[in-house]
Amino acid sequence: MATEHDDRIRQRAHQLWEEQGRPEGKHAEHWEQARTEIGNDETLMDRLREDPPEARRGTVESELTRRQQDDLNPHQSET
């Protein structure tokens, strides 16, 4: 059963594939790049939750949430 984390990676990898013109044979590269990007977002969120800069906490979380939504729905931000 796929987790939410796996779904985010899959969606980002698909987005990368489309952005690069749907090339053949790049699945592993797109998957690894997506895994790295998603992991970096999650690592940053974990760090902020553990030791948040209180004055900026809401702003940073809002920005990360917006970026995650953009990753999941890339065509909405183009309108």
The answer to whether 31 touches 14, Cβ cutoff 8 Å, is no
Question: Does the model's pTM come out above 0.75?
Answer: no
pLDDT of residue 56: 56
pLDDT of residue 4: 85
pLDDT of 58 strictly over 70: no
Q: Which residue has the higher pLDDT, 3 or 40?
A: 3
Q: Give the separation between CA 41 and CA 75, rounded to whole angstroms.
A: 20
Closest CA to 7 of 71, 66, 75: 71
**Tens digits of per-residue pLDDT, 1-27?**
568 888 888 999 999 999 999 999 999
Mean pLDDT taken over the chain: 79
Q: Which residue has the higher pLDDT, 28 or 51?
A: 28
